Amino acid sequence: MVDRISRLRRRMRELKLSAFLISSLPHLRYLFGFSGSNGLGLITEEYQWLITDRRYREQVKHEVHNAEVHIVLQDLFEPIKKQNIFARGMRVGFEAMHLNYREFSRLQKAFPNVQLAATENIIEKLTISRLPDEVEKTRRACDIARQVWDAILPMIRPGMTELDLSAEISYHGKKLGSERDAFEPIVASGWRSALPHGIASRKSLEPGELVVIDYGCVYEGFCSDVTRTVMIGQPSEAQRRMYEAVKEANRRAIAVAKANMPGADLDRVARDYLRKQGYDKEFGHSLGHGLGLDVHSLPRISPVSKDRIPENSVITIEPGVYLPEVGGVRIEDDVLVQKDSAEVLTDIDRELVIIE
Amino acid sequence: MVDRISRLRRRMRELKLSAFLISSLPHLRYLFGFSGSNGLGLITEEYQWLITDRRYREQVKHEVHNAEVHIVLQDLFEPIKKQNIFARGMRVGFEAMHLNYREFSRLQKAFPNVQLAATENIIEKLTISRLPDEVEKTRRACDIARQVWDAILPMIRPGMTELDLSAEISYHGKKLGSERDAFEPIVASGWRSALPHGIASRKSLEPGELVVIDYGCVYEGFCSDVTRTVMIGQPSEAQRRMYEAVKEANRRAIAVAKANMPGADLDRVARDYLRKQGYDKEFGHSLGHGLGLDVHSLPRISPVSKDRIPENSVITIEPGVYLPEVGGVRIEDDVLVQKDSAEVLTDIDRELVIIE
C-alpha cells in the first residue's frame, strides 16, 4: 500500500500540492486499509496520517499499518492544527466531490492562512488502471456476482415479490464472500421494469412480465455490477424483440471495446444499433461507467463523455431499452479493457431465460 | 405531504429564504416521495419542483404527485436557469451538509447574482418531532427489527462466520418488510466485539466470545437501529460483569428519558453509572442519537450535545463497554420520547443469551 501512497505523492508534485486531505471513505480504505465510517487522511512529503474518532481506536490497530494514527474526540482537523502541519501559504488539496460544504467551511476556518485547492478525481484516476492485485480483486467481485446468479436463478418464480428476490441476492452475495452489496439491488418487474433504477418493491412477479435484476458484489473494496433480465411466462413479440436488440447491442459494444477508445465512441456503437432497431429515446441512460472502489467511477461511457478508456480499466457495458407499456430490458457486463480487446469478467449466459 | 412543504415554507419565511434547494436524497423522499438516486428539489413561495434525470422519467410519474417534475439530461440546475427562477439578489438556501464542494461551486457559477445561504438541519429539525403517521412508520421499522431478532437468534451458533450472520440479518429484514438495511449490519465477535463499529468479517464465532450485533430496518423511509450482545459459551466473570453494567446503564437512561431533557444530561446518566462500575474510557462513544430518515440524526445525545430532546422525537439509547482483552457489550434500544417518559419501541429481551 506504500506504493499507492508513492503514486499519490508523485501526482501531488505534478499538481504542486504540498499536502492532500482525503475525505472519501473508499479512498481511506484504498490508501490505508481503514474501513471505518469516519476519518480523514493527510499526505505530505513528510507525513502520512490517518485521523479518526475513538470508536475506531482498536480497529485501526488491526487495519492501519502504513500511517501514523491520530484519535480525536470529535474534530478531525484538531491534530493538524495542534502540530501546526500547514505552513502559511501552503497549497493544500482536498477532494471537492467528497467534502460537503459544511466541512469545507470548517476547513477554511481552521486553516485561514493556507491556500485550499479543490481537486477532482485524483485518487479515482490513480485507481482507474488496475494494478495486478487489483485486477484479481475485481475478478473475485465479478465471480461472486456470477455465483449469486447461479444461486438465485432457480429460485425465481411467479408470485414472489421483488423484495423477496432482492433478499436472496443480498443473502447469497454475503454467503459467497461479498463484503456487502455494492448498491441496493434493483429488482423491477412488469411496468416497474421500465424504471431503469427501480429499487425492489413489494410488487410480485407476474406472468407476462420482464424482470430487470441489477446488483453488485464487493471484494476487498472492489465492486462488481451486473444486470440480467428474465421473462416470467412467454414473452410477447415486442418483449422478445426488445430483448434481442439489447443483447446484440451489448455484444457489439463488448466486441469493439479496447484501450484508448473514447468513451463516447463506445457508447455510440450500442446507441446507433438500438436506434436502427427503432429504440432511440428508449435507451435513456449512459452505456456504462468505470467500476472501482465506488460503483460509479471513471471513465465515463456516455454520449457526452470526453474520457478515453485506459488500458487495464474496468468498465460496465449496460445497454437498456425501456417502454412503459412493454417493460424494460437491460443486460450489463463488467469488462477488463485491454490493448486490443475487452475481457468479460461477468461470465453469465445472456440468452433470454423464460420462467413458467 | 403538502403539509410537510407548508411547514418548510413557514421555516423558510422565518429564515428569510426566498428559495430553498434540497439535495439530500432522504429529504427528497420525505418531501416528494421520490426514491431515486439523483435529484434536486426547489421550493419557493410559488413553486415546488423536483428535478431529476432521464433514468427516473417513468418512476416520478408513480412517485411524485405534489411537485412539478423537470427531467434533465445531466445538469440539475438547468431548468432553474432556463426559467429564470432566481431574481437578482434573492436569498437561496441550500443544505450545507448535503451538497459537496464541487456541486456548491457549480451552484455559485450557475447563479452568480443570488445570495447563497448555507443552512444546516432545516429539514432534520422539521422531522425531529414525529407526526402521527411518522410515529407509525417508525414503529413498523422497530417492529420489523424485533422480528428479525426473533428469526436470527435461533440460528446463531459457534463456527458460523460474522458474515453468515450478517447475511441472515439482511435477508430476514427484507423478508419481513424492511425496504433495505438502515446501514451495513455490525457483527463483531471476540476481540472484534471491542471494535464499536466492526462491520461483519470472515471471522467465525467461537466459544468464550461476546458477539455485538447491531442492525436497522427501514419502513417507508423511517429507520430503526438496534443492538443486542450475545455470549457464545459460558461468560467469564469479567464478561458477565460488563454485560450487567451495560444493561443497567441502558435501563437507567430509558427510565429517565423525557421531553425537553438536554441530550448531555441523558448521556450523563448512563456515563456516570458506567464510570462508577469502573468503566470510564471504555464507553468511548455517545449514548445515542436521533433516528429519522437518516440513521444518525438530531437530537445529539452525547457529553458535548447542546440539544434538548423534543417531545415525539425518536432516539437511540446505546451504552457500550469495550475492553480489548475481554470483548465488547452494547445494548441499544429506540425510544419514542414523550412528555414525562420514553416508550421503548424495540421490545427485545435484554437478558444475556448464552449460546452453547
pLDDT in tens, A242-260: 999 999 999 999 999 999 9
Map residue A317 onto helix, strand or coil: strand
**Chain A residues with CB inside 8 Å of B94's CB?**
101
User: Which tens digit of pLDDT belongs to each residue from A216-227?
Assistant: 999 999 999 999
- Say how far apart CA A174 and CA B165 lie, in whole Å: 9
- Say how far apart CA A41 and CA A37 lie, in whole Å: 13
Q: Nearest CA of chain A to the CA of B325: how many Å?
A: 11
- Say how far apart CA B279 and CA A222 lie, in whole Å: 39
Closest CA to A331 of A276, A298, A283, A299: A283
Among A48-62, B149-163, B258-272, the minimum mean pLDDT is found in: A48-62
B96 in A contact zone (CB under 8 Å): yes
Backbone angles phi, psi at B121, to 5 degrees: 65, 25
Of B102, B180, B284, the CB nearest to A120: B102
Closest CA to A29 of A294, A290, A221, A222: A221
pLDDT of B356 reads 92
Mean pLDDT of A100-125: 96
CATH code: domain of residue B72: 3.40.350.10
End-to-end CA distance of chain B: 50
- Please report, for residues A184, B114, B128, B176, B352, the alpha-carbon distance to residue B23 in angstroms, rounded to integers and kept in the order given: 20, 18, 19, 30, 43
Listed residues B110, B126, B142: the one ending a domain: B126
Listed residues B66, B99, B126: the one ending a domain: B126
**For chain B, what is the mean pLDDT?**
95
Domain shared by A111 and A158, yes or no: no
Q: Nearest CA of chain B to the CA of A140: how many Å?
A: 15
B116 in A contact zone (CB under 8 Å): no
Query: Given a cut of 90, is residue A74 above it in pLDDT?
Result: no
pLDDT of B3 reads 83
Q: Which residue does chain A place closest to B200, by CA atoms?
A: A179
Query: Given a cut of 60, is residue B1 above it in pLDDT?
Result: no
Q: Nearest CA of chain A to the CA of B99: how many Å?
A: 5
Query: Given a cut of 70, is residue B2 above it in pLDDT?
Result: no
β-strands A327-330, A353-355: how paired?
unpaired
Domain shared by A282 and A349, yes or no: yes
Q: Tell me what percent of the residues of chain A surpass a pLDDT of 70.
A: 99
Backbone angles phi, psi at B209, to 5 degrees: -110, 140
Which residue range(s) make up the domain with B255? 129-355
Domain shared by B191 and B110, yes or no: no
Backbone angles phi, psi at A267, to 5 degrees: -55, -40
- Please report, for residues A102, A216, A232, A328, the alpha-carbon distance to residue A210 in angstroms, rounded to integers and kept in the order given: 44, 20, 6, 7
Interface mutation target, options B193, B195, B304, chain A, most CBs of A under 10 Å: B195
B170 in A contact zone (CB under 8 Å): yes
Of A101, A172, A173, the CB nearest to B96: A101
The DSSP-derived string for A259-274 is: TT-BHHHHHHHHHHHH
Provide the pLDDT confidence category of residue B264 given band limits of 50, 70 and 90.
very high
Q: Nearest CA of chain A to the CA of B195: how many Å?
A: 6
The model carries a pTM of 0.90
pLDDT of A81 reads 96
Closest CA to A290 of A262, A319, A315: A315
B58 with A100: Cβ contact below 8 A:
no
Domain shared by B271 and B348, yes or no: yes
Q: What is the number of helices (H) and of strands (E) in chain B?
A: 10, 19
Domain shared by B318 and B184, yes or no: yes
pLDDT of A2 reads 54
The alpha carbon of A24 is separated from its chain's Cα centroid by a whole number of angstroms, namely: 14
Map residue A170 onto helix, strand or coil: helix
Q: B39: which 3 cell numbers? A: 435529484
- Say how far apart CA B321 and CA B300 lie, in whole Å: 20
Domain shared by A102 and A34, yes or no: yes
B36 with A197: Cβ contact below 8 A:
yes
Domain shared by B269 and B342, yes or no: yes
Q: How many CA atoms lie within 13 A of A263 on its CB side?
A: 24
A170 with B168: Cβ contact below 8 A:
no
**Chain A residues with CB inside 8 Å of B171's CB?**
167-168, 170-171
Domain shared by B185 and B308, yes or no: yes
- Say how far apart CA A64 and CA A48 lie, in whole Å: 11
Closest CA to B267 of B295, B296, B306: B306
Domain shared by A180 and A309, yes or no: yes
User: Which tens digit of pLDDT belongs to each residue from B16-51?
Assistant: 999 999 999 999 999 999 989 999 999 999 999 999
Mean pLDDT of A262-288: 96
Q: Which residue does chain B place closest to A324, by CA atoms?
A: B58
CATH code: domain of residue A282: 3.90.230.10
Contacts of A82 (CB under 8 A, 6+ apart): none
- Say how far apart CA A256 and CA B340 lie, in whole Å: 69
Listed residues B126, B145, B171: the one ending a domain: B126
Q: Which residues of A139-162 are buried (b: 16+ CB within 10 A; e: fewer)?
A: bbbbbbbbbbbebbeeebeeebbb
- Say how far apart CA B123 and CA A125 lie, in whole Å: 36
Q: A1: which 3 cell numbers? A: 500500500
Domain shared by B11 and B35, yes or no: yes
Q: Nearest CA of chain A to the CA of B340: how many Å?
A: 31
User: Which tens digit of pLDDT belongs to each residue from A329-349?
Assistant: 999 999 999 999 999 999 999
A57 in B contact zone (CB under 8 Å): yes
pLDDT of A76 reads 97
pLDDT of A279 reads 96
Provide the pLDDT confidence category of residue B197 given band limits of 50, 70 and 90.
confident
Cis check for the bond before A299: say yes or no (omega within 30 of 0).
yes
**Chain B residues with CB inside 8 Å of A99's CB?**
100-101
Backbone angles phi, psi at B319, to 5 degrees: -65, 155
Domain shared by B222 and B292, yes or no: yes
A282 in B contact zone (CB under 8 Å): no
Q: Which amino acid is present at B135?
A: V
Provide the pLDDT confidence category of residue A1 given band limits of 50, 70 and 90.
low
Domain shared by A307 and A335, yes or no: yes
- Say how far apart CA B118 and CA A114 lie, in whole Å: 22
A198 in B contact zone (CB under 8 Å): yes
pLDDT of B311 reads 97
Q: How many CA atoms lie within 13 A of B24 on its CB side?
A: 22
**Chain A residues with CB inside 8 Å of B199's CB?**
35, 179-180
Q: Tell me what percent of the residues of chain B surpass a pLDDT of 90.
A: 90
- Say how far apart CA A356 and CA B169 lie, in whole Å: 30
A167 with B184: Cβ contact below 8 A:
no
Contacts of A13 (CB under 8 A, 6+ apart): none
User: Which tens digit of pLDDT belongs to each residue from B104-145?
Assistant: 999 999 999 999 999 999 999 988 999 899 999 999 999 999
User: Which tens digit of pLDDT belongs to each residue from B217-256?
Assistant: 999 999 999 999 999 999 999 999 999 999 999 999 999 9
Q: A25: which 3 cell numbers? A: 471513505
Provide the pLDDT confidence category of residue B74 given band limits of 50, 70 and 90.
confident
Q: B301: which 3 cell numbers? A: 445525545
* Structural domain total, chain B: 2
A180 with B195: Cβ contact below 8 A:
no
**Chain B residues with CB inside 8 Å of A73's CB?**
304
User: Which tens digit of pLDDT belongs to each residue from B294-340?
Assistant: 899 999 999 999 999 999 999 999 999 999 899 999 999 999 999 99
Q: Nearest CA of chain B to the CA of A178: how many Å?
A: 9
Mean pLDDT of A69-74: 93
Task: Specify the DSSP element, H or E, that contains A61.
Answer: helix A57-63
β-strands A115-119, A91-95: how paired?
parallel
For cell 443473502, the residue is: A171
End-to-end CA distance of chain A: 50
